[in-house]
Homo-oligomer: A and B are copies of this chain.
Amino acid sequence: MLSLTGKLSTTFLNGVCFTKQSFKIYNGYSGFYDYGPSGCAIIPCVTPEVVLKASGHVEKLTDQMVKDEKTGTFYRADQLLKDFCNEKLREDVRLSLEQAAELRRTLAMMDDLSVEELGAKIKEYGITAPDTKNPLSDPYPFNLMFQTSVGPSGLTAAYVRPETAPGIFVNFKDLYYNNGNKLPFAAAQIGQAFRNEISPRQGFSRVREFTLAEIEHFVDPKDKSHPKFSEVKNLEFLMFPREEQMSAQSAKKIRLGEAVSRGIVNNETIGYFIGRVYLFLSRLGIDQDHLRFRQHLANEMAHYAADCWDAEIECSYGWIECVGIADRSAYDLRAHTEKSGVALVAQEKFSEPREVEKLVIAPVKKELGLAFKGKALGMKATLESKGEVEFYVRKLGKNVCIKKNMLLISKEKKKEFQRVFTPSVIEPSSGIDRIIYCLCEHCFYRRPSKAGDEQLNVFRFPPLVAPIKCTVFTLVQNQQYEEVAKVISESLSVAGISHKIDITGASIGKRYARTDELGVPCAITVDSTSSVTIRERDSKDQMRVHVDDVASIVKALTDGQRTWEDVWASYPHHSFFNFYIIIFVLLIIMLVSKFFIFLFCFQDIASDFLGFLII
C-alpha cells in the first residue's frame, strides 16, 4: 500500500491512463478530472467557455426566439411559423393553389431562413402570440446552453455541456496515444446533456436535460472502410435517401451493402454504424416498420459534413430523430487544434520512405536581408529606429513586401517518412430518452380482461430491456408459500435479477394485470413448496419448474441466452389454449366422478391444480 510512502499523483494515474485533468489542451481547469480510457470514461458536465467557443456551440447552438410584446411570454420563432403553415394548409379551405404552394415552400426552406427572413415571414403572415393574439417581437437568437461560472471570482465563464462530444475531442491526443498511435479507434461517452429550450413541448422528445450516448470513431480520411462491415452488409431495412426525399418519394427497403456500394451512403464506416444502430433498436423492441434511416438534405448538414443519416422512429408525435450518424470530417479536431494550439493530428509512418515531388520555396537570404535592411537576423535595433517593414511577420507584427528576386521557387524531389493528417470523425449520437419513449409506444398494447369487461394495459418489453424482469407471487396467502417466495426472491437477488415480490391477498388475476402493465416478462407463482409456475407475459403460457431452477431459467431468459421457445421445450409447458381444454375435460371428469373433493384433500396436489387455473 502506497499511502504510507507517498501520494499516487494524478500524473502517475494519468501515466497508466486511469485519470487525467479535464480540458488539458486548454491548460486544464482545477477541480475537474476525466476517467479513462483504462478507468471508466467519465467526462465533466461543466465545460469552460473556451472549449465551447472552439467547438462552435457558443456561436451556433441558438434558436430564434420571439416574445409576446405584452405578456413577455417567449416562443420559438420557427415553431410558430411551422405551426401556422401546417394549420393553414390543413384547415383553410379558401386557400388558393398559389397560396398553398407558397406555404409549402416556406415549410421546405425553414432550416435555411436567416433571422431577418424568419422575422419578415412572421410579419408577412400576420402571426401573433398563440395564447393571447398579441403582437410578437422581432426574432432574436437565444443560446441554448445553461450558463454558469467556475471558481469564486465569477469571471471564468462556463456552460453545462450541451453534448458529450467536446469532452472526447479535447482528449484526442491521449486517446490516440493509448491506442498505440493507430487509427481507427473510437471513444464512447454516456451522460447527461443540457439544453435550455425556449418552450419545451412534445413530452420526452424535447426536454431540457437528457441522456446522450455518443461514439466518436476516428478514421484516416483516405480510408473509411470498416473491418466489420461485412457483418451488417446483408441487413435490409427502410432507408430514405436524399434523392427520394427531393423527388417526393417515400422510404424504401434497401440492402445496406448495396447502399454503400452504390454510393448512397458515403462510406463503409457510416454504413457499419447505421447497421449497428438498426440491430440495436430492433433488439430493444422498436417496431421495424416504424423505423427508417433518413439522409440529411444538403441544407440540413453542416458545410463540413461528408454525410449524415438520422435513425427516425415513428410515434404519435410523427417521425422523430432518435440517433444521428454523421461523418463530421476533420472539423472538430481542426477547430480545437486552432484554438488550443495543440496539434490534434495522426501520423501514418511509411514502411519505406516515399519520394515525392514538392514545390520548395527557398528564401534568397541576400535579397531578403536587403528588404529587411539587415533586420532578418540582427535587425532589432534597425527596426526600432526605422519602425517600418512591408510584409507581415508575426514576431514583428508588421508587413514586408516580397519581391520576385527574394525567393527561389522550384520543384524538388524529397524523401518523406510519414504523413501527418487530421483524422475524420464519424459520430453516432443517440438520444436515450427519445428511444425509451418510442420503445414505450411500440411495446404498448391493450387486451381484454378475463371477464371481458375492461381493457388491460400491457408493455411487451423484450426481457433484455424490461426494467423489472420478474415478479414472485404466492397463489394463496399461506406461510409455507411465503417462505418459498422469499427463498426464490433471494436466489434472484444473488443472480442480480431485478424483481418484485407480492405476497398480498390481491387476486392472482389482478396481480398479473399489474405486472403486465409494468412490462414484467416473467411471473413466478408459488403454488407448492417444491415447484412453481413461470408465466410468460404475452402468450400467458405457463410452465412448471423446480424451485431451485427458477433463478437460472429467468437469468438465461432475461440475459438473452435462451428464448422462451427453447425453455418451453425443456419443461412441462401449458399453453393458454391447451390449458383451457385440459381444465374443461378435467372439470367434467371430476364433477362426474366426485373426484373433486378427494383431490383437494392433498394440499400440494391441489395447489398444483390451482396453479394451472391462474390466467
Contact = CB atoms under 8 A, between A and B. Distances in A.
A334 interface: no
A3 B147 contact: no
Nearest to A42: B211
Interface in A28-86: 30-33, 35, 38-40, 42, 44-46, 65, 72, 74
B206 A31 contact: yes
A21 to B, nearest CB: 10
B208 A30 contact: yes
Given A46-B208, A316-B2, A31 B440 contact: no
Interface in A197-223: 197-200, 203-204, 206-209, 211
Interface stretch (A149-157, A363-371, A384-392, A532-540): A149-157
Nearest to A3: B315
A73 B208 CA distance: 35
B8 A209 contact: no
B196 A150 contact: yes
B1 A444 contact: yes
A2 B315 CA distance: 8
A72 to B, nearest CB: 7
A153 B208 contact: no
Interface string A351-383: 000000000000000000000000000000000
A431 interface: no
A324 B75 CA distance: 45
Counting chain B CB atoms within 10 Å of each CB, the highest count among A2, A433, A517 belongs to A2
A74 B153 contact: yes
A9 B204 CA distance: 10
A7 interface: yes
Contact of A442 (B3, B44, B467): B3
A316 B1 CA distance: 10
Interface in A514-541: 517-518
A299 to B, nearest CB: 26
A290 B16 contact: no
B518 A16 contact: yes
A441 B17 contact: no
A10 interface: yes
A194 B46 contact: yes
B467 A39 contact: yes
Counting chain B CB atoms within 10 Å of each CB, the highest count among A72, A151, A290 belongs to A151
B207 A33 contact: yes
B13 A440 contact: yes
Interface string A490-508: 0000000000000010000
B209 A31 contact: yes
Given A146-B46, A209-B44, A441-B2, A152 B65 contact: yes
Contacts of A30: 199-200, 208
B150 A7 contact: no
Counting chain B CB atoms within 10 Å of each CB, the highest count among A16, A194, A438 belongs to A16
A457 interface: yes
A170 to B, nearest CB: 15
A148 interface: yes
Given A1-B445, A8-B441, A440-B18, A32 B194 contact: no
A150 B74 contact: no
A203 B14 CA distance: 12
A465 to B, nearest CB: 10
A160 interface: yes
A3 B148 contact: no
Nearest to A438: B3
Interface in A134-159: 142, 146-153, 158
A607 interface: no
A192 interface: yes
A506 to B, nearest CB: 10
Given A2-B444, A206-B31, A209-B45, A196 B38 contact: no
A208 B150 contact: yes
Contacts of A42: 211
A236 to B, nearest CB: 21
A436 interface: yes
A474 to B, nearest CB: 16
A380 to B, nearest CB: 33
Contacts of A314: 3
A317 interface: yes
B19 A204 contact: yes
A555 to B, nearest CB: 12
A452 interface: no
B153 A72 contact: yes
A6 interface: yes
B150 A148 contact: no
A339 to B, nearest CB: 22
A40 B437 CA distance: 13
Given A31-B208, A209-B31, A517-B16, A46 B152 contact: no
16 contacts: A1-B287, A1-B444, A3-B314, A3-B316, A7-B316, A8-B444, A10-B204, A30-B200, A38-B468, A45-B160, A45-B209, A46-B208, A46-B209, A74-B153, A150-B208, A152-B198
Given A8-B441, A146-B160, 12 more contacts: A2-B444, A3-B438, A4-B316, A8-B437, A10-B203, A31-B209, A32-B208, A33-B433, A35-B436, A39-B467, A72-B153, A142-B152
Across the A-B interface, give the 3 residue pairs with the lowest CB-CB distance, nearest first.
A31-B200, A31-B208, A3-B315
